[in-house]
Amino acid sequence: VTDTYSFNASAALLPAPVRGRLREAIEDWQGTGLSILEVSQRSGDFEQLVDRVLSRLRAVLAVPASHAVLLAPGSSSHQFAMVPLNLLRGRGRAAYVVSGTWSQRAAAEARRWCAVQIAASTAGAHRVPRQQELTVDPDVAYLHYTANETLEGVEFAYVPDGGGPPVAADWSSALFARPLDAARFGVVYAGAQKHLGAAGLTVVIAREDLLGRAAPGTPTVFDYAVHREAGSLHASSVAMAWYVADLMLEWLAAQGGVGALAREAEGKAAVVYAALDAAPLYVNAVEPGSRSRTTIPFALREPGLQARFLEQAAADGLVGLTGPRGLRAGLGNALPLEGARRLAAFLGDFAVRHG
């Protein structure tokens, strides 16, 4: 019997010990006799869980005291609105780097509240812009970019610098796959479902001095300062998502923290790209310097073979390779190097048989 490995990029893989403890928590959470879903969100136990998650997150990402760490309700799409509402601070313009689908969506949402200056656009170009290609007007309130475009598989290996305005960044599909120097950002956000376990919460790391100046009319639940002040417990929340985040953060720390995970992510991606590059059957058009560590879209030069590819991969225990456009290998933090190696071996074998 071979292990099954999932390459689905939209939901986090859960390490086996995390799954086991989750199962227990549905029945009896921490010996309380209650399911995690039955625990009062106003109980000391739940407050401790929330505090523990926030302090683990701060520790694992080494977030400095200059920045607040919170888990905001909702998903990354909520952040497309929360970023302008909180960061415009009376200004009427923001700059967006457009490198693919998700940055385009973020920019479109911002246009509801301000003028958007496109600092650079490489959408459709299979790469992210280089720093010297960026133009950021001095009057913008912030510069936004998407660290990893989950669909196009292009990733920034650097933090764009707008020459002054705070940087707001969507790290939804890049979290833990690269070291994150929080000090360089005004705001970093990442939906929890991709790397912390379950949908319903979004990691937000925000520079303290930017908070408390949300635009007039901002809904209370969209104001970062409200969540910071309430210790991320302003409103009833997704108990299960908090508990998964706790378990995942414990697991991440045990793996050696972000440095170790980033090295592993780099290693896993290298194995898969090497297999794709070695066989003419596969196409990945992304420029080498922009290749994603976590979401690798690819196609077969003979598209008619795709159904057979997926079928044979599944028979080999390799699932979740259907992408939004063609094929995609999502390399989650919990995917072991062995999973990437198995995929690489399959890519090689399939190309020999059908190339």
Active site positions, annotated? 102, 170, 194
**Considering the rule CB under 6 A, would residue 146 count as an interface residue with ligand PLP?**
yes
Query: Site size for ligand PLP, by CB under 6 A?
Result: 11
- The smaller minimum CB distance to ligand PLP, of residues 77 and 121, is found at 77
Q: Which of 152, 170, 246, 264 binds ligand PLP (CB under 6 A)?
A: 170
Write the CA distances from 159 to 100, 170, 196, 214, 316, integer angstroms: 17, 11, 22, 25, 38
Q: Are 85 and 227 in contact (CB under 8 A)?
A: no
109 contributes a contact to ligand PLP by CB under 6 A: no
Quickly list DSSP for 63-116: --TTEEEEEEES-HHHHHHHHHHHH-TT-SEEEEEE-SHHHHHHHHHHTTTSEE
- Cα angle, residue 76 at apex, residues 188 and 283 outer, rounded to 5°: 95
CB under 6 A: which stretch of 75-83, 206-214, 248-256, 317-325 binds ligand PLP? Answer: 75-83
Q: Which listed residue (8, 41, 77, 121) binds ligand PLP by CB under 6 A?
A: 77
Closest separation between CB of residue 102 and ligand PLP, Å? 4
- Under rule CB under 6 A, residue 320 binds ligand PLP: no
Selected from 46, 102, 298, 346, the binder of ligand PLP by CB under 6 A is 102
Strand partners of residue 227:
none
**In the chain, count of helices (H) and strands (E)?**
10, 14
Q: Closest distance between ligand PLP and the C-beta of residue 332, in Å?
A: 13
d(CA 313, CA 350): 9
Nearer to ligand PLP, 162 or 330 (CB): 330
Q: Give the tokens for residue 245.
A: 């985040």
Q: Which residues are at the interface with ligand PLP (CB under 6 A)?
A: 10, 75-77, 102, 146, 150, 170, 172-173, 191
